[in-house]
Amino acid sequence: MSYCELHCCSAFSFLRGGSFPEQLAKVAADLEMPAIALLDRNGVYGVQRFSVAAREHGVRPIIGAELSIEDGSILPVLVENRTGYKNLCELLTQSHLRSEKGKCTVHLDELLEFAQGLVALFGLGSALGSYSMSSAARMFSLSFIAISFAAKNALIEN
């Protein structure tokens, strides 16, 4: 079984990633990864450049984003199909329009509306691993997110 990185951030995620999308695709090819996911924080800033470069190097590009949820947690999501890409873009647009410049917060109720075609990843560093809220609040958020994404589109990582 081959390894695929599912949490890559590019230089477009300020203070989180240091490489341009083209460099990420080249390194993935050099490491013989069959696929790699680009998840910039609260945006799809480098996906066009990433997709072109990944295909040129024979690597399958996986598109997604790390969403900043209103409870302070981070929810990584992957795009499953065209509907998912459309929903991710609409979700991010609404969140950016509502938020002050430089900040972006996704409301939990929006996840239910835009979850179709997206795959949510749970694990350390994501909504499941968030320790900034009480146990009861974390369980409520997790339950709501799991219901929003349905069983087949909510995956737990270790």
Residue 49 clears pLDDT 60, i.e. is over it? yes
> 60-84, pLDDT tens digit by residue?
999 999 999 888 888 999 999 999 9
**Tokens matching residue 5:** 């990185």
Q: Where are the domains of the chain?
A: 1-63, 69-158
Burial 36-73 (b: 16+ CB within 10 A, else e): bbbbbbbbbbbbebbbebbeebebebbbbbbbbbebeb
How much is the pLDDT for 148? 65
Taking residues 100-128, report their average pLDDT: 82
